[in-house]
Structure 1
Amino acid sequence: MQPLAATAPPRTASGLVLDFLAYLEFERGLSRNTLDAYRSDLGQFLAFMEGRGRGVLEATGDDITAFLDGLASGGVAADGSPKRPAAAATIQRKAACLRSFYRHVRREGLLDADPTADVRGPRKREQLPKVLTRAEVAKLLAMPGRDGDAEPITLRDRAILELMYACGLRASEATGLDVGDVDLEDHMLRARGKGSKERMVPVGRRAIDALVRYLRDARGTMVGGGSERALFVNARGGRLSRQGLYKIVQRHAKTAGLDDRMSPHTLRHSFATHLLAGGCDLRTLQEMLGHADIATTQMYTHLSAQRLQDVYRDAHPRAQHG
C-alpha cells in the first residue's frame, strides 16, 4: 500500500498524530484520559514502524498484526530486558486506536486503502466486575464517622461514598462535580460523563443528608477563604483527584474488612446490579449510567444471573455436590 503522494504534500508522523488528536478532541469531544491513551498508543506504534525503517503511511496490515502480536507476546524492550505481555483489553484499545487513526488518515486523502481493514485485535475475555452485596455496601458506607468522628475529612468521605453508590458515578464524574451540579432540593445531580456528555441522575435521601452535612459543616473549613468550585476537595482545599478518591475508597474498604483492592468502580457496579435486582429496566439504567450503547448495560444482566446462581448454590440443600 502506498500513500497518495499526488494528492497531498508530505506530512510528518508527529504532525499526523497531532492532527488526529485535535480531531478527536474538538470534533469528537473525547475525554482527556482517552486522548492521553491514544497519544501513548500512537507513539508506541510510530516507534515500532521506525524500527522497521518505514513511516506510518507505509504501514501494512501485516505490520499492524505484528505490532499487536508483539504486545500479546511481550517481547523485549529497547534495552534488551523482557517485557510483560499486555492485557487483552489493552491490546484491544490499541487496535481500536489504530483503526480510528487510519480511518481519519483516509478521510484526509493521504492513503488509498486502510491497512487496519482486515486486522482484528484479540477478543477481550469477558470478566464480570466485582460487586458488593447490600450488606457489604452498608458496612463500607458506615466506616467514615463510625466512632462518632465528625472531622471535615470524615464528613467528606461519608458524603462521597454515599453519593457514588446512590448515583453510580465514575471516579472522574465524582471528582469532576462542582457545587452547583447538585440540586439538594429536588434531589438531582448533573454528571459529566465520557465525551463531556451530561446526564441528570436522581440522588437518594441518605446521600442528600450526607451531602448537606458535608456542605454545612466541613467543606467551608476545608476550602477556607478560597473560591474553589469543586464539590469534593482535598485537605489543601483544592479539587479532589481521582487518585485521592481511590485512596479514600481503599482505606475505608480495608477498615471494613473488604478487599482493599476495591476501586470506586466497584460502587458503580454495585449500584447497577442492585437496581436491576430491584426491578429497574435496562433503558432507565442505561440512562443513569451514561452508557452510549445498551449492550454495555446488558453486562449487568449477566452479573445478576451469576449472583443468583451463587446464592442458589450456597442456599439450596440439593444444589451441593457430594
Structure 2
Amino acid sequence: MSSYFTRKKVKTKGEQYTTRKPVSPVDLTLTEMFERFMDIKKTEGLAKRTIDDHYLHFTYFCEFIQRDLKNEEITVEVFRDYIAYMLEERDLSPVTVNIRIRPLKAFLRYSHKAGFLNSPIHEDIKILKTPEDTLESLTPAEIKLILGQIDDRYYAGFRDKCVIFTLLDTMVRISELLAIKRENVDLKQGTIKLEAHETKTKRARTVPISSKTVNLLREYISETEGYNNELLFLSFNGDELAANTVRRALMTYARSAGISKRVSPHTWRHTGALLYILNGGDPFSLQKILGHADMSMVRKYIQMTNQDIKSQHNYFSPLKAVFK
C-alpha cells in the first residue's frame, strides 16, 4: 500500500494498547482467571441473574481493552483508564460506573487471594463518591503545544492531526468519529453526516466543520483513497482504526508536550464545547452539535474557570450596553 502515500507509514506508540509489566509467578491470562472465578461463583448458589451480571460486566470491560491481557499486563492503571472511559467517553453516570466496577473488584479480590495476582489491585480501585464531572479542558496554548508534537510527515502523524482537528471542530464522540464514512464527509458544504445507528442517541445528525478541517480532510481523503475502505480514519495498514489506538496516541502527544492533564478523546469534546461558548457560540446550537436531547447535559461541558467567567463578563457586561 506504500505507493498510495507521500508520507511514510510508521507504527507509532499509540498503535497498540500497552501497560507496565510487573513480574508475576502465575501464567494465567485475564480470561483464564475469570473462568476460574466464575467456576467458584457457580458453586455458591447465586441467582442466575447475578451470574449473568458477572459475565455481562466482564464483557463490557473486555470490549474496552479489546483483547485478552497477560498476567503481567493486569495493572490498576488499566482499570482506572476503564473508569475514565466510562465517565468521559461513554457519559455514564457514577452510579452506573460503580455497578460495573463492583463485580470486577470482586473478581480481582478473588484472583489476588487465589495467588493469581501478586498485587491487591482491587484495593486501589475506588468506588466513586461524587457525581461531579471534574474533567479539565485544554487551553488554546496547550492545544498548540500538543499539535506541535505531531510529525505530520508520516502517515500516522498526519492522520492523528486530522483526528484531533475533527474531534475539536465537531465535538463528536470517539465512537462516532471512528464510524464516519468517507461518503458522509461533504467537503463542499463543510459538513459530516453521522448515521443514526452509529450515534449514542441513535439519531442521525450533521455536524459542521471549519475551513481548516476541510482542507486537512481533503488532503487526507486524497492520500487514503487507495485503501479502498469506506471508513474515514484508518490504521497504517488500511484497517479500521481502534479507539485505544487514538487514546494512547493522544496521551503520548500530551505527555511529550509536558501536559499533566488527562487528554482523552472526550477531553477534546469537552474542550471544543467550552471554547465554542467562549468564542461567542450559543448553547442551543451547541446542544444540536453535541447531539444532546436536553440542556442539562450541555451544562456539564461548559465548566468555566474563574478567569473564563471574568473574561466573558468584561466582554458582555450589561454596563457596555449603557456606556457604549
In structure 2, the CA distance between the partners of 1:295 and 1:159, relative to structure 1 (3 Å rule), is same
In structure 1, the gaps of 5 or more residues are 1-42, 60-66, 90-122, 313-322
Q: How big is the shift at 1:265? A: 1.2
Q: How big is the shift at 1:275? A: 0.9
Decide whether the 8 Å contact of 2:254 with 2:263 is kept in 1. Answer: yes
Aligned residues: 219
Q: Answer yes or no: is 1:131 the counterpart of 2:124.
A: no
In structure 2, the gaps of 5 or more residues are 1-34, 52-97, 115-119, 313-324
| C-alpha distance in 2 between matches for 1:78 and 1:143 | 40
Decide whether the 8 Å contact of 2:133 with 2:300 is kept in 1. Answer: no
Decide whether the 8 Å contact of 2:138 with 2:271 is kept in 1. Answer: yes
Query: Which residue of 1 is the match for residue 113 of structure 2?
Result: 80
Q: 1:188 aligns with which of 188, 191, 195?
A: 191
Query: Which residue of 1 is the match for residue 171 of structure 2?
Result: 168
Query: Which residue of 2 is the match for residue 150 of structure 1?
Result: 153
Query: Which residue of 2 is the match for residue 255 of structure 1?
Result: 256
Decide whether the 8 Å contact of 2:201 with 2:291 is kept in 1. Answer: no
Query: Which residue of 2 is the match for residue 53 of structure 1?
Result: 45
In structure 2, the CA distance between the partners of 1:50 and 1:159, relative to structure 1 (3 Å rule), is same
| C-alpha distance in 1 between matches for 2:176 and 2:306 | 28
TM-score normalised by length of structure 1: 0.57
Query: Which residue of 2 is the match for residue 273 of structure 1?
Result: 274
Identity fraction in percent: 22
Query: Which residue of 1 is the match for residue 240 of structure 2?
Result: 239
In structure 2, the CA distance between the partners of 1:237 and 1:55, relative to structure 1 (3 Å rule), is same
Q: How big is the shift at 1:51? A: 6.4
| C-alpha distance in 1 between matches for 2:40 and 2:287 | 39
Q: How big is the shift at 1:159? A: 1.2
| C-alpha distance in 2 between matches for 1:254 and 1:293 | 35
Q: How big is the shift at 1:197? A: 2.7
Q: Which has the larger radius of gyration?
A: 1
Q: Which amino acid aligns with 2:300?
A: M
Decide whether the 8 Å contact of 1:163 with 1:203 is kept in 2. Answer: yes
TM-score normalised by length of structure 2: 0.57
CA offset digits 1:223-270 (Å, max 9, x no partner): 2xxx31110111111111101111222232233332384211111111
In structure 2, the CA distance between the partners of 1:207 and 1:142, relative to structure 1 (3 Å rule), is farther
The two structures, once aligned, show a CA RMSD in angstroms of 3.6
| C-alpha distance in 2 between matches for 1:49 and 1:293 | 42
| C-alpha distance in 1 between matches for 2:141 and 2:299 | 24
